[in-house]
Amino acid sequence: MKKLLFRFALLISCTFFVSCSGGAFTTASASRISSDSHAALDSLYKANPKARNLAKRSKGVLVFPKITKAGFLVGGMGGNGALLRPGGATQAYYQTAGLSYGLQIGAQKYGYALFLMDEKAISDLNGAGGWEIGSAPSIVVIDQGVASSLSTTNLNASAYAVFFNQTGLMAGIGLQGSKITRFQPNKN
């Protein structure tokens, strides 16, 4: 009976996630991912000017403009993004994906920017097999309250994550359990 219930929950969750994802797992073109990433970062800077100061100190910003997360007991999340180097050049493209389970139901969309503060963080990101959030480097999630007090004197982590444009019906967001891997999108 437990196996049947689990399979049913998994089926409902997968169906729900696919119907709500709106193409989060489709491979968009390189130009589209780059354009969406630049637009999302500009929007973040307008909403949170401290993020621009953080970018000035970083060696690169990995931007995921739209992540879709959905679940019913079993959940998933995913989206495409780009690594933008100082000056705005797009260096590489990445996908993020994750699974979760527990008491959860709903769907949401959000974006996040991962400010990589040193070359080691970028090197770790491009390491073999991708980058599992929670393994390396240390990431500080910056919420609205912390963002207002952020200054160049209290930066001491390898990476800072800033979430933006959150919409939907799931309570809370986080990076735990997600994996970032490099990929090559279509050129179109």
In DSSP notation, 55-95 reads: HHH-SEEEEEEEEEEEEEEEEEEEEEEEEE-TTS-EEEEEE
Decide if 177 contacts 134 (C-beta within 8 A). yes
If the chain, 188 residues long, is cut into consecutive pieces of 10 residues, what is the mean pLDDT of each piece?
52 47 62 96 90 91 93 85 93 90 80 91 79 59 51 62 82 66 86
Cα gap 188→125, rounded to integer Å: 25
Residue 37 is predicted with a pLDDT of 97
- How much is the pTM? 0.78
Instruction: Judge whether 125 and 85 are in contact, CB under 8 Å.
Output: no
Give me the residue spans of the domains in the chain.
Answer: 2-183
